[in-house]
Structure 1
Amino acid sequence: MSEEVIPILRVADAGAAAEWYARLRFAREWEHRFEPGFPLFLAVARGPVRLFLSEHEGDARPDTLIHLKVADLDVVAAEFGVQPQDQPWGRELELTDPDGNRIRISPVEDGEG
């Protein structure tokens, strides 16, 4: 088992957020709710990359920024109808999920991963 860091993103509707993240090719792994009507907490994954999406108010703050490195930057850009921008440090794009969390996306460089 390898070590990992899993960002937790605060969302108003975890089910709807999981559908938005599916456009980034994240798949639902599991979900948990303490009781019916309680806030939903769920995990989505894209290969070895995992995010937790939480409706629990104390788990994370809104307007979080995460950086995601992908092998298919142009495919992601096309899915969202945006163009990657050339920055001094490389190509990237930034998306904002329906809850205001920002996802900065750049390509995996040769030798990474």
Structure 2
Amino acid sequence: MSAGAEAVIPILRVTDAAAAVRWYERLGFTLEWEHRFEPGFPAFVEVGRGSVRLFLSEHTGDAGPDTLVYLRVRDVDAIAAEFGAKVEEAPWACEIELRDPDGNRLRIGTPTT
């Protein structure tokens, strides 16, 4: 993503950024960067999948638990197979819902139209 590009990037609260990054890698995300003010301080990381970005923060005030993020993908069946999830058909998409290790909810869907 270029420096001048506009985007909305959800921030999700995590307790262990390294463990969260490993979980999000299973969804096809890769670690873009990590920041800590000092060694041993909470981590703030960015993961990306194509043009999609998420911030994962160990900082307690950055986000609340049980956040819901919708992720539109080309092939929800592949992700469902990776996580052993059952795909549900809605009028607008085929979807699954997953929870990351910190309880954040991801509704993931492939549009049907």
Question: What TM-score, normalized to structure 2?
Answer: 0.92
Find the aligned partners of 1:54 and 1:20 in 2 and give their Cα distance: 14
Aligned to 1:88: 91
Aligned to 2:27: 24
Query: What is the number of residues matched between the two proteins?
Result: 110
Q: What's the CA shift for 1:91?
A: 1.3
Please tell me whether residue 38 in structure 1 is matched to residue 67 in structure 2: no
Aligned to 2:62: 59
Find the aligned partners of 1:51 and 1:96 in 2 and give their Cα distance: 15
Q: What's the CA shift for 1:108?
A: 4.4
Q: For structure 1, which runs of at least 5 residues remain unmatched after alignment?
A: none
Q: For structure 2, which runs of at least 5 residues remain unmatched after alignment?
A: none
Please tell me whether residue 79 in structure 1 is matched to residue 82 in structure 2: yes
Matched residues, percent identical? Answer: 63
Of the candidates 7, 13, 17, which is equivalent to residue 16 of structure 2?
Answer: 13
Q: What's the CA shift for 1:87?
A: 2.0
Question: What TM-score, normalized to structure 1?
Answer: 0.92
* RMSD across aligned positions (CA): 1.2
> Which amino acid is 1:88 matched to?
P
Please tell me whether residue 2 in structure 1 is matched to residue 2 in structure 2: no
